[in-house]
Chain A
Protein backbone atom coordinates (compact mmCIF):
# COMPACT_ATOMS: atom_id res chain seq x y z
CA UNK A 1 0.00 0.00 0.00
CA UNK A 2 1.43 3.39 -0.92
CA UNK A 3 1.46 6.40 1.45
CA UNK A 4 -1.44 8.16 -0.25
CA UNK A 5 -3.70 5.13 0.10
CA UNK A 6 -2.58 4.74 3.71
CA UNK A 7 -3.52 8.38 4.48
CA UNK A 8 -6.93 7.79 2.94
CA UNK A 9 -7.42 4.69 5.02
CA UNK A 10 -6.55 6.62 8.17
CA UNK A 11 -8.97 9.35 7.03
CA UNK A 12 -11.73 6.73 6.62
CA UNK A 13 -11.14 5.56 10.18
CA UNK A 14 -11.27 9.19 11.35
CA UNK A 15 -14.65 9.76 9.70
CA UNK A 16 -15.97 6.48 11.09
CA UNK A 17 -14.85 7.54 14.53
CA UNK A 18 -16.53 10.94 14.05
CA UNK A 19 -19.72 9.17 12.95
CA UNK A 20 -19.79 6.91 16.02
CA UNK A 21 -19.12 9.84 18.39
CA UNK A 22 -21.70 12.05 16.68
CA UNK A 23 -24.26 9.26 16.96
CA UNK A 24 -23.45 8.76 20.62
CA UNK A 25 -23.62 12.45 21.50
CA UNK A 26 -26.41 13.44 19.14
CA UNK A 27 -28.51 14.71 22.10
CA UNK A 28 -25.80 17.21 22.84
CA UNK A 29 -26.14 18.69 19.39
CA UNK A 30 -29.11 20.72 20.60
CA UNK A 31 -30.46 22.94 17.84
CA UNK A 32 -27.56 22.14 15.45
CA UNK A 33 -28.95 20.92 12.09
CA UNK A 34 -28.35 17.18 12.42
CA UNK A 35 -28.88 16.24 8.70
CA UNK A 36 -26.14 18.65 7.62
CA UNK A 37 -23.93 17.38 10.35
CA UNK A 38 -24.21 13.73 9.35
CA UNK A 39 -24.03 14.68 5.65
CA UNK A 40 -20.58 16.16 6.26
CA UNK A 41 -19.36 13.02 7.98
CA UNK A 42 -20.85 10.63 5.43
CA UNK A 43 -19.58 12.69 2.45
CA UNK A 44 -16.17 12.99 4.07
CA UNK A 45 -16.07 9.26 4.60
CA UNK A 46 -17.01 8.38 1.02
CA UNK A 47 -14.66 10.98 -0.41
CA UNK A 48 -11.78 9.50 1.54
CA UNK A 49 -12.94 5.93 0.98
CA UNK A 50 -13.13 6.41 -2.77
CA UNK A 51 -9.63 7.93 -2.63
CA UNK A 52 -8.42 4.84 -0.87
CA UNK A 53 -10.08 2.53 -3.46
CA UNK A 54 -8.47 4.50 -6.30
CA UNK A 55 -4.99 4.88 -4.84
CA UNK A 56 -4.78 1.34 -3.61
CA UNK A 57 -5.64 0.21 -7.17
CA UNK A 58 -8.90 -1.57 -6.33
CA UNK A 59 -11.07 0.46 -8.68
CA UNK A 60 -10.95 3.62 -10.77
CA UNK A 61 -14.72 3.90 -11.17
CA UNK A 62 -15.20 6.11 -8.09
CA UNK A 63 -12.93 8.89 -9.36
CA UNK A 64 -15.99 10.91 -10.42
CA UNK A 65 -17.55 10.66 -6.99
CA UNK A 66 -14.34 11.79 -5.37
CA UNK A 67 -14.24 14.82 -7.65
CA UNK A 68 -17.85 15.74 -6.84
CA UNK A 69 -17.26 15.26 -3.13
CA UNK A 70 -14.91 18.23 -3.39
CA UNK A 71 -17.95 20.33 -4.22
CA UNK A 72 -20.53 18.55 -2.07
CA UNK A 73 -18.48 18.54 1.08
CA UNK A 74 -17.84 22.31 1.07
CA UNK A 75 -21.54 22.80 0.33
CA UNK A 76 -22.44 20.65 3.34
CA UNK A 77 -19.98 22.56 5.53
CA UNK A 78 -21.36 25.84 4.24
CA UNK A 79 -24.94 24.74 4.93
CA UNK A 80 -23.98 23.56 8.38
CA UNK A 81 -22.50 26.93 9.34
CA UNK A 82 -25.25 28.94 7.65
CA UNK A 83 -27.87 27.06 9.65
CA UNK A 84 -25.97 27.56 12.90
CA UNK A 85 -25.37 31.24 12.30
CA UNK A 86 -28.96 31.80 11.21
CA UNK A 87 -30.33 30.02 14.25
CA UNK A 88 -28.09 31.65 16.82
CA UNK A 89 -28.12 35.13 15.34
CA UNK A 90 -31.87 35.24 15.07
CA UNK A 91 -32.33 33.70 18.50
CA UNK A 92 -29.67 35.90 20.07
CA UNK A 93 -31.16 39.11 18.71
CA UNK A 94 -34.68 38.39 19.85
CA UNK A 95 -33.63 37.05 23.22
CA UNK A 96 -31.16 39.91 23.77
CA UNK A 97 -33.89 42.49 23.37
CA UNK A 98 -36.27 40.57 25.58
CA UNK A 99 -33.67 39.91 28.28
CA UNK A 100 -32.70 43.59 28.34
CA UNK A 101 -36.37 44.53 28.60
CA UNK A 102 -36.83 42.05 31.47
CA UNK A 103 -33.83 43.44 33.33
CA UNK A 104 -35.09 46.98 32.82
CA UNK A 105 -38.57 46.05 34.06
CA UNK A 106 -37.16 44.47 37.22
CA UNK A 107 -34.90 47.44 37.90
CA UNK A 108 -37.82 49.83 37.72
CA UNK A 109 -39.82 47.85 40.25
CA UNK A 110 -39.64 48.70 43.94
CA UNK A 111 -38.41 45.87 46.17
CA UNK A 112 -41.18 44.24 48.17
CA UNK A 113 -39.93 44.03 51.79
CA UNK A 114 -41.97 40.85 52.39
CA UNK A 115 -40.41 39.09 49.41
CA UNK A 116 -37.18 40.93 48.57
CA UNK A 117 -36.00 38.23 46.18
CA UNK A 118 -39.31 38.08 44.30
CA UNK A 119 -38.12 40.36 41.52
CA UNK A 120 -34.90 38.37 41.11
CA UNK A 121 -36.92 35.15 40.87
CA UNK A 122 -39.12 36.70 38.16
CA UNK A 123 -36.06 37.84 36.25
CA UNK A 124 -34.45 34.39 36.47
CA UNK A 125 -37.65 32.81 35.19
CA UNK A 126 -37.98 35.18 32.25
CA UNK A 127 -34.34 34.99 31.20
CA UNK A 128 -34.24 31.20 31.56
CA UNK A 129 -37.32 30.85 29.39
CA UNK A 130 -35.90 33.17 26.75
CA UNK A 131 -32.51 31.51 26.65
CA UNK A 132 -33.98 28.00 26.90
CA UNK A 133 -32.61 26.99 30.26
CA UNK A 134 -34.63 24.66 32.46
CA UNK A 135 -33.54 25.98 35.85
CA UNK A 136 -31.81 29.03 37.25
CA UNK A 137 -30.47 29.67 40.72
CA UNK A 138 -28.47 32.25 42.59
CA UNK A 139 -26.17 30.88 45.27
CA UNK A 140 -24.53 32.82 48.01
CA UNK A 141 -21.39 31.44 49.54
CA UNK A 142 -21.48 30.90 53.28
CA UNK A 143 -18.61 30.47 55.68
CA UNK A 144 -16.50 27.34 55.35
CA UNK A 145 -17.14 27.48 51.61
CA UNK A 146 -20.68 26.09 51.77
CA UNK A 147 -23.34 27.11 49.32
CA UNK A 148 -26.71 28.55 50.16
CA UNK A 149 -29.49 28.80 47.62
CA UNK A 150 -30.52 32.45 47.88
CA UNK A 151 -33.17 32.45 45.17
CA UNK A 152 -34.10 30.08 42.38
CA UNK A 153 -36.48 29.44 39.55
CA UNK A 154 -37.88 25.98 38.81
CA UNK A 155 -35.38 24.16 41.04
CA UNK A 156 -36.65 20.96 42.61
CA UNK A 157 -36.47 21.15 46.46
CA UNK A 158 -34.62 17.81 46.61
CA UNK A 159 -31.97 19.12 44.23
CA UNK A 160 -31.62 22.29 46.32
CA UNK A 161 -31.13 20.24 49.49
CA UNK A 162 -28.59 17.95 47.86
CA UNK A 163 -26.59 20.87 46.48
CA UNK A 164 -26.59 22.66 49.82
CA UNK A 165 -25.48 19.46 51.55
CA UNK A 166 -22.26 19.34 49.49
CA UNK A 167 -19.35 20.24 51.79
CA UNK A 168 -17.23 22.08 49.32
CA UNK A 169 -17.19 22.56 45.58
CA UNK A 170 -13.77 23.56 44.31
CA UNK A 171 -15.20 24.37 40.88
CA UNK A 172 -17.88 26.71 42.19
CA UNK A 173 -15.54 28.39 44.65
CA UNK A 174 -13.08 28.93 41.85
CA UNK A 175 -15.86 30.36 39.68
CA UNK A 176 -17.01 32.61 42.53
CA UNK A 177 -13.58 34.12 42.93
CA UNK A 178 -12.93 34.45 39.23
CA UNK A 179 -14.28 36.90 36.73
CA UNK A 180 -15.00 34.61 33.80
CA UNK A 181 -17.92 32.21 33.56
CA UNK A 182 -17.59 28.46 33.67
CA UNK A 183 -19.49 26.83 30.84
CA UNK A 184 -20.07 23.12 31.23
CA UNK A 185 -21.50 21.79 27.99
CA UNK A 186 -21.59 18.25 29.40
CA UNK A 187 -21.93 17.51 33.10
CA UNK A 188 -21.25 13.77 32.83
CA UNK A 189 -17.96 12.77 34.52
CA UNK A 190 -17.22 16.39 35.43
CA UNK A 191 -14.96 16.14 38.49
CA UNK A 192 -16.98 18.22 40.94
CA UNK A 193 -19.54 17.08 43.54
CA UNK A 194 -22.08 19.85 42.86
CA UNK A 195 -21.95 19.31 39.12
CA UNK A 196 -22.31 15.58 39.71
CA UNK A 197 -25.48 16.21 41.73
CA UNK A 198 -26.82 18.30 38.84
CA UNK A 199 -25.90 15.51 36.43
CA UNK A 200 -27.76 12.95 38.55
CA UNK A 201 -30.85 15.15 38.34
CA UNK A 202 -30.66 15.10 34.55
CA UNK A 203 -28.97 18.42 33.79
CA UNK A 204 -26.48 17.91 31.02
CA UNK A 205 -25.26 21.49 30.54
CA UNK A 206 -24.53 24.23 33.06
CA UNK A 207 -23.53 27.84 32.89
CA UNK A 208 -21.96 29.28 36.04
CA UNK A 209 -21.40 33.02 36.28
CA UNK A 210 -19.78 34.87 39.19
CA UNK A 211 -21.84 37.73 40.62
CA UNK A 212 -19.55 40.39 41.89
CA UNK A 213 -19.84 44.06 42.63
CA UNK A 214 -16.99 46.42 43.33
CA UNK A 215 -14.58 43.48 43.03
CA UNK A 216 -16.33 41.66 45.88
CA UNK A 217 -17.86 38.25 45.12
CA UNK A 218 -21.58 38.26 45.90
CA UNK A 219 -22.55 34.80 44.75
CA UNK A 220 -23.05 32.64 41.69
CA UNK A 221 -25.64 32.52 38.96
CA UNK A 222 -26.17 28.93 37.83
CA UNK A 223 -28.31 28.03 34.82
CA UNK A 224 -28.98 24.44 33.85
CA UNK A 225 -30.30 22.71 30.77
CA UNK A 226 -31.56 19.15 30.44
CA UNK A 227 -30.35 19.06 26.85
CA UNK A 228 -26.97 19.90 25.41
CA UNK A 229 -26.56 23.65 25.39
CA UNK A 230 -24.30 25.45 22.99
CA UNK A 231 -22.87 28.62 24.38
CA UNK A 232 -22.54 31.19 21.62
CA UNK A 233 -20.47 34.28 22.34
CA UNK A 234 -23.67 36.31 22.07
CA UNK A 235 -25.49 34.24 24.70
CA UNK A 236 -22.46 34.33 26.98
CA UNK A 237 -22.23 38.14 26.65
CA UNK A 238 -25.90 38.44 27.50
CA UNK A 239 -25.56 36.23 30.56
CA UNK A 240 -22.47 38.16 31.67
CA UNK A 241 -24.50 41.34 31.48
CA UNK A 242 -27.27 39.69 33.49
CA UNK A 243 -24.75 38.45 36.08
CA UNK A 244 -23.27 41.93 36.51
CA UNK A 245 -26.74 43.35 36.93
CA UNK A 246 -27.84 40.63 39.35
CA UNK A 247 -24.77 41.34 41.49
CA UNK A 248 -25.91 44.94 41.89
CA UNK A 249 -29.53 43.94 42.53
CA UNK A 250 -28.51 41.43 45.22
CA UNK A 251 -26.24 43.98 46.89
CA UNK A 252 -29.09 46.49 46.93
CA UNK A 253 -31.48 43.94 48.44
CA UNK A 254 -28.89 43.08 51.08
CA UNK A 255 -28.26 46.74 51.94
CA UNK A 256 -31.98 47.50 52.13
CA UNK A 257 -32.48 44.45 54.38
CA UNK A 258 -29.65 45.61 56.65
CA UNK A 259 -31.10 49.10 56.81
CA UNK A 260 -34.55 47.72 57.71
CA UNK A 261 -32.99 45.55 60.41
CA UNK A 262 -31.08 48.49 61.88
CA UNK A 263 -34.24 50.61 61.79
CA UNK A 264 -36.17 47.90 63.64
CA UNK A 265 -33.37 47.61 66.21
CA UNK A 266 -33.41 51.36 66.70
CA UNK A 267 -37.16 51.39 67.14
CA UNK A 268 -36.92 48.57 69.66
CA UNK A 269 -34.23 50.46 71.56
CA UNK A 270 -36.33 53.64 71.63
CA UNK A 271 -39.35 51.71 72.82
CA UNK A 272 -37.32 50.02 75.56
CA UNK A 273 -36.05 53.41 76.66
CA UNK A 274 -39.60 54.77 76.85
CA UNK A 275 -40.77 51.78 78.85
CA UNK A 276 -37.77 52.08 81.15
CA UNK A 277 -38.35 55.80 81.71
CA UNK A 278 -42.02 55.27 82.31
CA UNK A 279 -41.57 52.45 84.83
CA UNK A 280 -38.75 54.15 86.71
CA UNK A 281 -40.62 57.44 86.87
CA UNK A 282 -43.79 55.89 88.23
CA UNK A 283 -41.86 53.87 90.76
CA UNK A 284 -40.09 57.00 91.94
CA UNK A 285 -43.15 59.21 92.03
CA UNK A 286 -45.30 57.09 94.32
CA UNK A 287 -42.89 57.00 97.30
CA UNK A 288 -42.09 60.66 96.65
CA UNK A 289 -45.74 61.56 97.12
CA UNK A 290 -45.66 59.83 100.48
CA UNK A 291 -42.49 61.75 101.51
CA UNK A 292 -43.99 65.07 100.41
CA UNK A 293 -47.22 64.40 102.29
CA UNK A 294 -45.31 63.39 105.43
CA UNK A 295 -43.15 66.55 105.23
CA UNK A 296 -46.27 68.71 105.03
CA UNK A 297 -47.74 67.03 108.12
CA UNK A 298 -44.45 67.47 110.03
CA UNK A 299 -44.24 71.12 108.97
CA UNK A 300 -47.78 71.86 110.14
CA UNK A 301 -47.28 69.93 113.37
CA UNK A 302 -44.03 71.74 114.29
CA UNK A 303 -45.57 75.18 113.80
CA UNK A 304 -43.83 78.43 114.68
CA UNK A 305 -42.84 77.38 118.17
CA UNK A 306 -40.36 74.79 116.99
CA UNK A 307 -36.67 75.03 116.61
CA UNK A 308 -35.88 77.24 113.56
CA UNK A 309 -33.15 74.83 112.37
CA UNK A 310 -35.56 71.91 112.31
CA UNK A 311 -38.15 74.02 110.56
CA UNK A 312 -35.62 75.10 107.89
CA UNK A 313 -34.55 71.50 107.36
CA UNK A 314 -38.13 70.43 106.82
CA UNK A 315 -38.69 73.28 104.34
CA UNK A 316 -35.52 72.33 102.46
CA UNK A 317 -36.64 68.70 102.30
CA UNK A 318 -40.08 69.81 101.07
CA UNK A 319 -38.51 71.99 98.34
CA UNK A 320 -36.25 69.13 97.26
CA UNK A 321 -39.26 66.81 97.11
CA UNK A 322 -41.12 69.36 94.93
CA UNK A 323 -38.16 69.65 92.55
CA UNK A 324 -37.88 65.89 92.39
CA UNK A 325 -41.59 65.62 91.71
CA UNK A 326 -41.33 68.16 88.89
CA UNK A 327 -38.38 66.28 87.41
CA UNK A 328 -40.20 62.95 87.55
CA UNK A 329 -43.30 64.58 86.07
CA UNK A 330 -41.18 65.84 83.18
CA UNK A 331 -39.66 62.41 82.63
CA UNK A 332 -43.07 60.77 82.51
CA UNK A 333 -44.26 63.49 80.14
CA UNK A 334 -41.31 63.01 77.86
CA UNK A 335 -41.69 59.23 77.89
CA UNK A 336 -45.35 59.58 76.97
CA UNK A 337 -44.65 62.15 74.24
CA UNK A 338 -41.92 59.98 72.71
CA UNK A 339 -43.99 56.80 72.72
CA UNK A 340 -47.00 58.51 71.16
CA UNK A 341 -48.99 57.92 74.34
CA UNK A 342 -50.22 61.52 74.34
CA UNK A 343 -53.36 62.53 72.52
CA UNK A 344 -53.55 66.24 71.76
CA UNK A 345 -56.87 68.03 71.90
CA UNK A 346 -56.73 70.76 69.28
CA UNK A 347 -59.00 73.74 69.76
CA UNK A 348 -59.03 77.37 68.56
CA UNK A 349 -57.42 79.70 71.09
CA UNK A 350 -56.52 83.36 71.32
CA UNK A 351 -52.73 83.05 71.29
CA UNK A 352 -52.10 86.51 72.70
CA UNK A 353 -54.36 85.89 75.70
CA UNK A 354 -52.80 82.50 76.39
CA UNK A 355 -49.24 83.84 76.17
CA UNK A 356 -50.11 86.71 78.49
CA UNK A 357 -51.77 84.31 80.97
CA UNK A 358 -48.71 82.06 81.12
CA UNK A 359 -46.37 85.06 81.34
CA UNK A 360 -48.31 86.44 84.29
CA UNK A 361 -47.78 83.16 86.15
CA UNK A 362 -44.09 84.06 86.21
CA UNK A 363 -44.58 87.71 87.16
CA UNK A 364 -43.84 87.14 90.84
CA UNK A 365 -40.68 85.15 90.13
CA UNK A 366 -39.48 87.80 87.68
CA UNK A 367 -40.17 90.64 90.12
CA UNK A 368 -38.42 88.79 92.92
CA UNK A 369 -35.35 88.48 90.73
CA UNK A 370 -35.54 92.03 89.40
CA UNK A 371 -36.17 90.96 85.82
CA UNK A 372 -38.58 93.03 83.71
CA UNK A 373 -41.25 90.97 81.95
CA UNK A 374 -42.76 92.61 78.85
CA UNK A 375 -45.26 91.52 76.22
CA UNK A 376 -45.25 92.58 72.56
CA UNK A 377 -48.57 91.17 71.43
CA UNK A 378 -50.66 92.69 68.63
CA UNK A 379 -54.18 93.64 69.77
CA UNK A 380 -55.85 91.36 67.23
CA UNK A 381 -54.24 88.05 66.50
CA UNK A 382 -56.27 85.50 64.54
CA UNK A 383 -57.18 82.38 66.52
CA UNK A 384 -54.92 79.33 66.20
CA UNK A 385 -55.61 75.65 66.75
CA UNK A 386 -53.45 74.12 69.46
CA UNK A 387 -53.71 71.84 72.45
CA UNK A 388 -54.18 74.52 75.07
CA UNK A 389 -52.47 72.69 77.93
CA UNK A 390 -49.47 71.76 75.77
CA UNK A 391 -49.26 75.29 74.37
CA UNK A 392 -49.00 76.58 77.92
CA UNK A 393 -46.35 73.97 78.61
CA UNK A 394 -44.22 75.16 75.66
CA UNK A 395 -44.32 78.78 76.80
CA UNK A 396 -43.88 77.85 80.44
CA UNK A 397 -40.77 75.73 79.88
CA UNK A 398 -39.03 78.28 77.67
CA UNK A 399 -40.00 81.17 79.96
CA UNK A 400 -38.81 79.29 83.07
CA UNK A 401 -35.40 78.87 81.41
CA UNK A 402 -35.31 82.54 80.45
CA UNK A 403 -36.04 83.68 84.00
CA UNK A 404 -33.55 81.18 85.44
CA UNK A 405 -30.70 82.43 83.29
CA UNK A 406 -31.45 86.16 83.20
CA UNK A 407 -29.69 88.14 85.91
CA UNK A 408 -31.35 90.95 87.91
CA UNK A 409 -31.85 94.12 85.85
CA UNK A 410 -32.40 92.09 82.73
CA UNK A 411 -35.47 91.90 80.55
CA UNK A 412 -37.64 89.18 79.03
CA UNK A 413 -39.94 89.93 76.10
CA UNK A 414 -42.75 87.63 74.98
CA UNK A 415 -43.88 88.39 71.45
CA UNK A 416 -46.22 86.81 68.91
CA UNK A 417 -47.09 87.53 65.31
CA UNK A 418 -48.64 85.81 62.35
CA UNK A 419 -46.52 84.85 59.38
CA UNK A 420 -48.60 83.52 56.51
CA UNK A 421 -50.28 80.33 57.68
CA UNK A 422 -48.10 80.18 60.79
CA UNK A 423 -47.93 81.84 64.16
CA UNK A 424 -44.54 82.79 65.57
CA UNK A 425 -44.01 83.03 69.31
CA UNK A 426 -40.72 84.57 70.45
CA UNK A 427 -39.29 84.59 73.95
CA UNK A 428 -36.26 86.85 74.11
CA UNK A 429 -34.12 87.39 77.19
CA UNK A 430 -31.04 89.41 78.04
CA UNK A 431 -29.46 86.55 79.95
CA UNK A 432 -26.01 85.05 79.80
CA UNK A 433 -26.64 83.45 76.39
CA UNK A 434 -25.56 80.08 75.07
CA UNK A 435 -22.10 79.37 73.61
CA UNK A 436 -22.36 78.58 69.84
CA UNK A 437 -21.01 75.06 70.35
CA UNK A 438 -23.81 74.24 72.79
CA UNK A 439 -26.67 75.72 70.77
CA UNK A 440 -27.42 72.57 68.71
CA UNK A 441 -27.44 70.48 71.92
CA UNK A 442 -29.97 72.42 73.97
CA UNK A 443 -32.87 70.14 72.96
CA UNK A 444 -30.97 66.97 73.88
CA UNK A 445 -32.20 64.94 76.79
CA UNK A 446 -30.57 65.93 80.11
CA UNK A 447 -28.37 68.53 78.43
CA UNK A 448 -27.23 71.25 80.79
CA UNK A 449 -25.06 74.03 79.51
CA UNK A 450 -21.71 74.94 80.99
CA UNK A 451 -21.13 77.81 83.40
CA UNK A 452 -24.63 78.16 84.78
CA UNK A 453 -25.23 78.76 88.39
CA UNK A 454 -28.81 77.51 88.48
CA UNK A 455 -29.19 74.05 87.08
CA UNK A 456 -32.40 72.76 85.55
CA UNK A 457 -33.38 69.16 84.89
CA UNK A 458 -32.24 69.24 81.27
CA UNK A 459 -35.68 68.03 80.17
CA UNK A 460 -37.62 71.26 79.60
CA UNK A 461 -36.54 72.03 76.04
CA UNK A 462 -36.65 68.33 75.06
CA UNK A 463 -40.31 68.36 76.04
CA UNK A 464 -40.91 71.63 74.18
CA UNK A 465 -39.35 70.22 71.02
CA UNK A 466 -41.55 67.08 71.20
CA UNK A 467 -44.70 69.13 71.81
CA UNK A 468 -43.84 71.52 68.95
CA UNK A 469 -43.23 68.51 66.70
CA UNK A 470 -46.62 67.03 67.60
CA UNK A 471 -48.18 70.36 66.63
CA UNK A 472 -46.42 70.18 63.24
CA UNK A 473 -44.26 73.20 64.07
CA UNK A 474 -40.61 74.08 64.51
CA UNK A 475 -38.45 75.53 67.24
CA UNK A 476 -35.22 77.44 66.82
CA UNK A 477 -32.90 79.44 69.05
CA UNK A 478 -30.46 82.26 68.39
CA UNK A 479 -28.09 83.31 71.10
CA UNK A 480 -25.21 85.70 71.68
CA UNK A 481 -23.15 84.88 74.74
CA UNK A 482 -23.36 87.74 77.22
CA UNK A 483 -26.26 89.42 75.42
CA UNK A 484 -29.13 86.99 75.49
CA UNK A 485 -31.15 84.33 73.74
CA UNK A 486 -34.19 84.37 71.48
CA UNK A 487 -36.25 81.19 71.23
CA UNK A 488 -38.72 81.16 68.32
CA UNK A 489 -41.58 78.68 68.14
CA UNK A 490 -43.38 78.48 64.80
CA UNK A 491 -46.73 76.66 64.77
CA UNK A 492 -49.28 76.22 61.99
CA UNK A 493 -52.38 78.26 62.75
CA UNK A 494 -54.67 75.55 61.48
CA UNK A 495 -54.06 71.98 62.58
CA UNK A 496 -54.03 69.49 59.74
CA UNK A 497 -54.53 65.91 60.96
CA UNK A 498 -51.64 63.67 59.71
Chain B
Protein backbone atom coordinates (compact mmCIF):
# COMPACT_ATOMS: atom_id res chain seq x y z
CA UNK B 1 0.00 0.00 0.00
CA UNK B 2 1.10 3.55 -0.71
CA UNK B 3 -1.26 5.71 1.24
CA UNK B 4 -4.66 4.52 0.20
CA UNK B 5 -3.43 2.97 -3.05
CA UNK B 6 -2.50 -0.60 -3.91
CA UNK B 7 1.04 -0.82 -5.29
CA UNK B 8 -0.12 -3.20 -8.03
CA UNK B 9 -2.72 -0.73 -9.22
CA UNK B 10 -0.20 2.10 -9.32
CA UNK B 11 2.38 0.02 -11.17
CA UNK B 12 -0.25 -1.22 -13.60
CA UNK B 13 -1.34 2.32 -14.23
CA UNK B 14 2.23 3.48 -14.90
CA UNK B 15 2.76 0.59 -17.32
CA UNK B 16 -0.50 1.41 -19.05
CA UNK B 17 0.59 5.05 -19.45
CA UNK B 18 3.95 4.03 -20.90
CA UNK B 19 2.36 1.51 -23.23
CA UNK B 20 -0.24 4.06 -24.37
CA UNK B 21 2.50 6.53 -25.24
CA UNK B 22 4.40 3.87 -27.12
CA UNK B 23 1.38 2.71 -29.10
CA UNK B 24 0.38 6.29 -29.91
CA UNK B 25 3.87 7.22 -31.06
CA UNK B 26 4.09 4.18 -33.35
CA UNK B 27 0.47 3.87 -34.37
CA UNK B 28 1.24 3.99 -38.11
CA UNK B 29 3.22 0.76 -37.81
CA UNK B 30 0.35 -1.12 -36.19
CA UNK B 31 -1.92 -2.69 -38.81
CA UNK B 32 -5.50 -1.47 -38.78
CA UNK B 33 -7.09 -4.82 -37.93
CA UNK B 34 -4.97 -5.00 -34.80
CA UNK B 35 -4.91 -1.34 -33.96
CA UNK B 36 -8.57 -0.42 -33.74
CA UNK B 37 -10.25 -3.13 -31.61
CA UNK B 38 -7.19 -4.08 -29.58
CA UNK B 39 -6.34 -0.50 -28.71
CA UNK B 40 -9.93 -0.11 -27.51
CA UNK B 41 -9.53 -3.23 -25.36
CA UNK B 42 -6.29 -1.78 -24.07
CA UNK B 43 -7.97 1.56 -23.28
CA UNK B 44 -10.88 -0.13 -21.51
CA UNK B 45 -8.50 -2.11 -19.36
CA UNK B 46 -6.54 1.06 -18.54
CA UNK B 47 -9.82 2.61 -17.48
CA UNK B 48 -10.49 -0.38 -15.24
CA UNK B 49 -7.13 0.06 -13.48
CA UNK B 50 -7.71 3.80 -13.11
CA UNK B 51 -11.11 3.13 -11.62
CA UNK B 52 -9.57 0.61 -9.21
CA UNK B 53 -7.22 3.37 -8.06
CA UNK B 54 -9.89 6.01 -7.75
CA UNK B 55 -12.34 3.78 -5.90
CA UNK B 56 -10.00 3.62 -2.91
CA UNK B 57 -10.32 7.35 -2.23
CA UNK B 58 -13.47 8.55 -3.97
CA UNK B 59 -16.97 7.13 -4.47
CA UNK B 60 -15.90 3.52 -3.99
CA UNK B 61 -19.22 1.93 -4.99
CA UNK B 62 -19.43 3.77 -8.32
CA UNK B 63 -15.80 3.31 -9.33
CA UNK B 64 -15.81 -0.31 -8.27
CA UNK B 65 -18.72 -0.85 -10.61
CA UNK B 66 -16.96 1.11 -13.33
CA UNK B 67 -13.82 -0.96 -12.86
CA UNK B 68 -15.67 -4.20 -13.43
CA UNK B 69 -17.70 -2.77 -16.29
CA UNK B 70 -14.58 -1.57 -18.10
CA UNK B 71 -12.76 -4.84 -17.56
CA UNK B 72 -15.74 -6.65 -18.94
CA UNK B 73 -15.89 -4.23 -21.88
CA UNK B 74 -12.23 -4.90 -22.65
CA UNK B 75 -13.06 -8.61 -23.03
CA UNK B 76 -15.61 -7.79 -25.72
CA UNK B 77 -13.22 -5.48 -27.52
CA UNK B 78 -10.76 -8.36 -27.54
CA UNK B 79 -13.46 -10.66 -28.93
CA UNK B 80 -14.33 -8.03 -31.57
CA UNK B 81 -10.66 -7.83 -32.55
CA UNK B 82 -10.49 -11.58 -32.99
CA UNK B 83 -13.73 -11.50 -34.95
CA UNK B 84 -12.31 -8.86 -37.30
CA UNK B 85 -9.32 -11.12 -37.93
CA UNK B 86 -11.78 -13.70 -39.20
CA UNK B 87 -14.09 -11.57 -41.31
CA UNK B 88 -11.28 -9.18 -41.88
CA UNK B 89 -12.58 -6.84 -44.60
CA UNK B 90 -10.89 -3.62 -43.79
CA UNK B 91 -11.61 -1.10 -46.46
CA UNK B 92 -9.22 1.69 -47.08
CA UNK B 93 -11.89 3.72 -48.76
CA UNK B 94 -15.61 3.89 -48.85
CA UNK B 95 -17.14 0.52 -49.69
Taking beta carbons and an 8 Å cutoff, which residues of A are in contact with B?
3-4, 7-8, 10-15, 17-18, 21-22, 24-25, 28-29, 32, 40-41, 44-45, 47-48, 51, 55, 67-68, 70-71, 73-75, 77-78, 80-82, 84-85, 88-89, 92, 174-175, 178-186, 188-190, 205, 228, 230-236
Contacts and interface: CB of A to CB of B under 8 A. Distances in A.
A170 to B, nearest CB: 10
A70 B8 CA distance: 6
A81 B68 contact: no
17 contacts: A4-B64, A11-B73, A18-B82, A21-B79, A21-B85, A67-B6, A80-B38, A84-B30, A85-B23, A178-B94, A180-B92, A180-B93, A185-B90, A231-B32, A232-B31, A233-B31, A233-B32
Question: Looking at chain A's contact residues, is the secondary structure mostly helix, strand, loop, or mixed?
Answer: helix
A235 B49 CA distance: 34
A228 B88 contact: yes
A185 B90 CA distance: 6
A175 B95 CA distance: 9
A3 B32 CA distance: 34
Contacts of B93: 175, 178-182
Interface in B18-45: 18-19, 22-23, 26-34, 38, 42, 45
A18 B78 contact: yes
Interface of B: 6, 8-9, 11-12, 15-16, 18-19, 22-23, 26-34, 38, 42, 45-46, 48-49, 52, 64-65, 68-69, 71-76, 78-79, 81-95
Contacts of B31: 84, 88, 230-233, 235
A234 B71 contact: no
Contacts of A45: 75
A115 B11 CA distance: 64
A77 B19 contact: yes
Contacts of A231: 31-33, 90, 92
Given A14-B75, A73-B12, A186 B28 contact: no
Nearest to A182: B91
A83 to B, nearest CB: 11
Contacts of A67: 6, 8-9
